[in-house]
């Protein structure tokens, strides 16, 4: 059995960067697909595109207003390594990141599917939220 990697600030940053890279890569692939096809997969599905945008926005709101406020703040006496050792901190942070990542993907799927710009905008907003909630920003004392 392989022992799990230690959960230190470096490992946490790697997890965040991998999620971020995945979202950027998916967005880039979708843009290439749209360029090759000359547009959305089915522009007649505008209502579906707006539904995807609404779901993506709901995911972002859950991340920002329900999960993020529950993330414990780092105290001045706490080192960054001690902060990330707390399972509540790791769980809440990863949940915020996954919700932001999911929102970006759902928004971009709506854009790919229906060509609805609002869905793409919500995807970009979600990418910004994922960047905003970086491990360094979350661990500031």
Number of helices and strands in the chain (H, E): 6, 0
* pLDDT band at residue 107 under the 50/70/90 scheme: very high
At residue 42, the pLDDT reads 87
Whether the CA torsion 7, 13, 14, 19 is positive or negative: it is positive
pTM of the model: 0.90
Span 21-50, average pLDDT? 92
pLDDT surpassing 80 at residue 4? no
Q: For residue 20, count other CB atoms closer than 10 A to its CB.
A: 18
Residues ≥6 apart with Cβ < 8 Å to 125: 60, 103, 107
- Separation of CA 103 from chain center: 6
pLDDT surpassing 80 at residue 141? no
Question: What torsion, rounded to 10 degrees, do the Cα atoms 95, 96, 102, 103 define?
Answer: 150
Percent pLDDT > 90 in the chain is 73
- Determine which helix (DSSP H) or strand (DSSP E) holds 108, and give its type and residue range: helix 87-114
At residue 39, the pLDDT reads 87
* pLDDT band at residue 6 under the 50/70/90 scheme: low
At residue 51, the pLDDT reads 97
Residues 61-89 pLDDT 10s: 999 999 999 999 999 899 888 999 888 99
Strand, coil or helix: 41: coil
- Determine which helix (DSSP H) or strand (DSSP E) holds 25, and give its type and residue range: helix 9-37
At residue 140, the pLDDT reads 84
First-to-last C-alpha distance (Å) of the chain: 37
pLDDT surpassing 80 at residue 2? no
Residues 43-65 pLDDT 10s: 788 999 999 999 999 999 999 99
């Amino acid at each position: 059995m392989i022992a799990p990697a230690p959960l230190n600030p470096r490992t946490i940053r790697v997890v965040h960067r991998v999620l971020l890279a995945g979202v950027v890569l998916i967005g880039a692939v979708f843009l290439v697909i749209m360029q090759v096809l000359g547009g959305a997969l089915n522009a007649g599905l505008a209502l579906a595109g707006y539904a995807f945008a609404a779901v993506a926005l709901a995911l972002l709101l859950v991340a920002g207003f329900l999960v993020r406020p529950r993330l414990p703040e780092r105290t001045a006496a706490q080192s960054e390594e001690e902060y990330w050792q707390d399972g509540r901190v790791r769980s809440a942070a990863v949940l915020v990141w996954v919700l932001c990542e999911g929102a970006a993907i759902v928004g971009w799927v709506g854009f790919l599917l229906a060509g609805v710009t609002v869905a793409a905008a919500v995807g970009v907003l979600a990418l910004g939220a994922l960047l905003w909630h970086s491990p360094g920003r979350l661990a500031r004392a």
